[in-house]
């Protein structure tokens, strides 16, 4: 498989990471640099690992998981999205960290579901899994960093409305995953 094709796949897989990180960066979390790394590292790792898992698992396992993966991703993103919208409307802003370890792991899983299928297709297409998975993981890492940092800029200018918008982005991503899997 050509390097250009792998890069295109990596960018497409990283777009969900970027959107979730953009939403996170727009939230009212004080330390955006820390948040950028807290999201980028697991996002990149999960994209990397899920690509390898998809490649290794084979069609039988993927067909079992594909029966409910879209529902799990939708539920995770919907719960976090609704929480962000709710907190965006609240005036008594006692900041409970939305981005704790369990939440970050769930977001990482939700955004890396497509990488499982990409890994499976790499196995069928004869793609080099080592190179491909590293490129996919690094691309997601960079996109997540960029998303948080861009979200921070937008959050500084638009304040609470960006947190609401970020929550809506998560809901839309969740719905897109659900609709694409059902249709």
User: What one-character DSSP code corresponds to residue 67?
Assistant: T
C-alpha to C-alpha distance for 166 and 180, rounded to whole angstroms? 21
C-alpha to C-alpha distance for 8 and 11, rounded to whole angstroms? 5
Domain boundaries, the chain: 3-182
Tokens matching residue 75: 């539920």
Question: Taking the model in full, what pTM does it have?
Answer: 0.73
Per-residue pLDDT of the chain (183 residues; tens, 9 = 90+): 688 888 998 998 898 899 888 888 887 667 778 889 999 999 999 999 999 998 887 655 656 666 777 787 788 778 777 877 887 777 655 444 567 889 899 999 988 988 887 887 777 666 689 999 999 999 999 999 999 999 888 776 776 676 677 778 878 887 887 888 787
């Amino acid at each position: 498989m050509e390097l250009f094709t792998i890069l295109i796949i990596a960018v497409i897989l990283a777009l969900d990471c970027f959107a979730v990180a953009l939403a996170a960066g727009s939230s009212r979390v004080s330390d955006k640099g820390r948040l950028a790394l807290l999201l980028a590292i697991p996002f990149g790792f999960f994209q990397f690992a899920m690509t390898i898992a998809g490649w290794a698992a084979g069609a039988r396992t993927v067909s079992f998981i594909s029966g409910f993966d879209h529902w799990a991703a939708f539920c995770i993103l919907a719960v976090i999205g609704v929480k962000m919208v709710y907190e965006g409307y609240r005036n008594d802003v006692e900041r409970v960290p939305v981005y704790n370890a369990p939440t970050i792991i769930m977001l990482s899983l939700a955004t890396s579901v497509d990488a499982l299928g990409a890994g499976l297709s790499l196995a069928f297409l004869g793609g080099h899994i080592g190179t491909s998975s590293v490129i996919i993981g690094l691309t997601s890492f960079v996109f997540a960093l960029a998303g948080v940092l861009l979200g921070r800029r937008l959050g500084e200018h638009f304040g609470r409305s960006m947190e609401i918008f970020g929550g809506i982005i998560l809901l839309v991503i969740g719905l897109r995953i659900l609709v694409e899997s059902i249709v």
